[in-house]
Chain A
Amino acid sequence: MQLYLPIADIPVNVFLILAMGAAVGFVSGMFGIGGGFLMTPLLIFVGIAPAVAVASVASHIAASSFSGAISYWRRRAIDPVLAVVLLSGGGLGTALGVWTFTLLRSLGQLDLMIATSYVILLTTVGALMFWEGLRALLRARRGGPVTTRRPGSHVWIHGLPLKMRFKRSKIYLSVIPVVVIGLVIGFIGAVMGIGGGFILVPLLIYVLRVPTSTVIGTSMVLTLVTMVFATMLHAVTNHLVDAVLALILMVGGVTGAQFGARAGQKIRGEHLRLLLGLLVLAVGVRFAVELVIRPEDLFTIRETGGTG
């Protein structure tokens, strides 16, 4: 069934978009991530303008992280204090991100920026995750200790001032790195159309030593708020949010996520991380190839307004 997308300005097959939403939802439910880093590229490959894809996926991630956050809240797996501190940075980062997005769009380099940041971010994070998962797997096979946490070890981050107690996570930590992480995630989220969960979760675990019991729930709250904020800002400044596209994605996404979550529980943690690492890496490489090979057409046209 063909449907005309009002903002993207192209007709698409509803079932294709629905299936994409469900597939990404499945993956996101399985790994406990938003899935924006998969959704945005898929939409771009289907032919939707990168700018519209980024702006519309923001609202799609808001929906999936909200349903996730509700269930984590019921299980008391969210640290509200940590979430609020992260958000103070996240809000600022998102605003900066949308501003950068608008600036790059006017310079005509937005598509390049989106593609290169995907390449850099995804190949790095993907390779790290893959490597980490592989090591954990080998260690488990050798029968060694699986834990990567070294309690008691202090890095420079723990020596920063403005310390604060985060009760539910049972950590005592400076607010500076927390705000900075929120800012970075908010920024890349707005520019790249990703929730940033797949970067935020490792950062919270390895850098801030947030216990795994509260990490995913808290990261979902940050994702939820920054993505709602990003949706609003993209709608107000760039008018690029396609609500029809977003709705189809949401419906597919939240449904797929439920089945993904069930599948995820059947797979071991190390395998899961290894798979996620591979997936992230693959998307990064796909973008790299796109940049390096000679494009079919060297010229592109874009309307710059003034219709009438």
Chain B
Amino acid sequence: MIARAPLILVSLALGALLAASPAQAERLIVSVSNHRVTVTPNYSGEELVLFGSVEKDATTPANRSYDLVVTVAGPRADMVTRRKERRFGIWINTDSRQFLQVPTYLALFSNRPFDAIASPEVQRRQQLGLNNVLLTQRVGPDYADVVPDDAFRSAFVRLRKQHGLYREETSAVTFLTPTLFRTGIPLPAEVPIGLYNVEIKLFAEGALVAKTDTAFEIVKVGFEQFVATTARQNGFVYGLVTAFMALMTGWMASIVFRKD
């Protein structure tokens, strides 16, 4: 019995390998409608379209039905979530949690509910759904994600959702033919600038069979961007110009409205 245990393990591993090898049978080909989105001063949101198709080869089992999950992640940043509590009759920030390098924008789209696509175990491993995405927190000296119903984590996700920056839609991906699919990627007005990664995962019979990724970039252009960059990089010059502008405005007003 004891001697046979490794053998069982090896055969299990072999079995897993064999099961995984058909995954090479499908290939995903995708493209987004625009790889560079420019945000102008009157930008009020936009929607990108992701198109793709599932390429099969000779080894692909016929009449396989597919599920697709698209994950769009914006530039990462550290964020703090604070909770207000009543102290001495007033509401003040008391407790806080720091989220480390989490996506500023995060969208998860699929063609049907995640529960129907894969088992909870696969959902967790493949980070399907906002509840399963890894959001690293600093908990004391450790770095870890917590359970999905943690107060800070759920508040964080809820607030990001309210701004349209985190979203999860389980009917957003449409299969036009059994192998051709499309989905829209909505980008709200307050979308963060930077590089966005799009990960596309193809599932069949509850298992991941293929994945690919693509990316697009969101850039701000024009005067506003110039001002924001200058303020950050040349604080001194920026302050000087602003102060000078204030003095000029005041001086002009005193001339325009001079009474004597």
Chains A and B form a bound pair: yes
A: residues with CB less than 8 A from B are 2-7, 9-11, 59-60, 62-68, 70-71, 74, 108-109, 111-112, 116, 227-228, 231-237, 239, 241, 243-244, 246-247, 250-251, 254-255, 257-258, 291-295, 297-308
Mostly, the A contact residues are helix
Contacts of B83 in A (CB 8 A): 298-299
Stretch in B54-62, B64-72, B73-81, B202-210 touching the partner: B73-81
Chain A residue, CB-CB nearest to B244: A228
Known: A108-B96, A228-B243, A246-B246. A241 touches B80 (CB 8 A): no
Q: Which 7 pairs between the two chains have the least Cβ-Cβ distance? A: A235-B239, A66-B250, A254-B253, A299-B155, A67-B250, A63-B246, A6-B227
In the bound assembly, the distance between CA atoms of A66 and B76 in angstroms comes to 43
Stretch of B18-26, B86-94, B120-128 on the interface side: B86-94
Contact of A243 with B245 in the complex, beta carbons under 8 Å: yes
Measured in the bound complex, the distance between the Cα atoms of B257 and A233 in whole Å is 31
Contact, CB under 8 Å: A246 / B245: yes
Measured CA separation A244–B74 after assembly (Å): 27
Q: Is B47 in the interface zone, CB < 8 Å from A?
A: no
Nearest CB in chain A to that of B91: its residue: A295
Contact flag A108-B93 (CB < 8 Å), given A301-B80, A302-B79: yes
Report yes or no: A304 in contact with B98, Cβ–Cβ below 8 A.
yes
Given A6-B225, A112-B92, A306-B101, A250 contacting B43 (CB threshold 8 A): no
Bound Cα distance from A241 to B84, whole angstroms? 27
- Contact between B242 and A231, CB atoms less than 8 A apart: yes
B104: interface (CB < 8 Å): yes
* Chain A residues whose C-beta falls within 8 Å of the C-beta of B247 in the assembled complex: 62-63, 66, 228
Q: Which residues of A contact B143 (CB under 8 A)?
A: none
The residues of B with any CB-CB pair to A shorter than 8 Å are 41-44, 75-86, 89-93, 96, 98, 100-101, 104, 152, 155-156, 158-160, 189-190, 192, 194, 223-225, 227-228, 231-232, 235-236, 238-243, 245-247, 249-254, 257-258, 260
Complex Cα–Cα for A232 and B167 (A): 40
Q: How far is the CA of A192 from the CA of B75 in the complex (A)?
A: 33
Query: Contacts A63-B247, A70-B250, A300-B81 known; A243 to B92 CB distance under 8 Å?
Result: no
Neighbouring A residues of B228 by C-beta, 8 Å: 6-7
Look across to chain A and name the residue whose beta carbon is closest to the beta carbon of B99.
A301
B246 touches A301 (CB 8 A): no
Contact B246 A232 (CB under 8 A): no
User: What are 29 A-B contacts defined by CB distance under 8 Å?
Assistant: A6-B231, A7-B231, A11-B189, A59-B243, A62-B243, A62-B246, A62-B247, A66-B247, A67-B257, A70-B254, A71-B254, A74-B260, A228-B243, A235-B231, A235-B236, A235-B238, A250-B245, A250-B246, A255-B253, A258-B253, A291-B90, A292-B89, A293-B91, A299-B82, A299-B83, A299-B84, A303-B80, A304-B77, A308-B76
Give bound CA distance, A112 to B192, whole Å. Answer: 27
Docked Cα-Cα span, A241 to B240, in Å, equals 11
Contact of B246 with A304 in the complex, beta carbons under 8 Å: no
Q: Which of A2, A232, A292 contacts B243 (CB 8 A)?
A: A232
Q: Known contacts A3-B41, A6-B224, A307-B192: does B245 contact A254 (CB below 8 Å)?
A: no
Cβ–Cβ contact B231 & A236, under 8 A: no
With both chains docked as a complex, state the minimum distance between the C-beta of B65 and any C-beta of chain A, in angstroms.
39
Assembly CA distance A298 to B41 (angstroms): 32
Contacts of A291 in B (CB 8 A): 90-91
Interface centre among A63, A109, A232 (most CB of B within 10 A): A63
Do the beta carbons of A239 and B232 come within 8 Å of each other?
yes
Give CA–CA (A237, B231) in the complex, Å: 10
Query: Are B224's CB and A247's CB within 8 A?
Result: no
Complexed CA–CA distance, A295 and B227 (Å): 34
Partner of A60, one of B92, B192, B246: B246
Contacts of A228 in B (CB 8 A): 243, 246-247
For residue B159, give the distance in angstroms from its CB to the closest CB of chain A: 5
Bound CA–CA A5/B43 (angstroms): 12
Q: Is the CB of B235 within 8 A of A59?
A: no
**Given contact pairs A109-B92, A241-B242, A299-B152, a sample of 17 additional A-B residue pairs in the complex whose CB atoms are under 8 Å apart:** A6-B231, A108-B93, A233-B239, A236-B239, A254-B250, A258-B253, A295-B91, A298-B85, A300-B82, A300-B93, A301-B82, A301-B156, A303-B77, A304-B80, A305-B77, A306-B78, A306-B101
State whether A306 touches B77 (Cβ < 8 A). Answer: yes
> Among the listed A4, A9, A11, A241, which residue makes an inter-chain contact with B239, where contact means beta carbons less than 8 Å apart?
A241
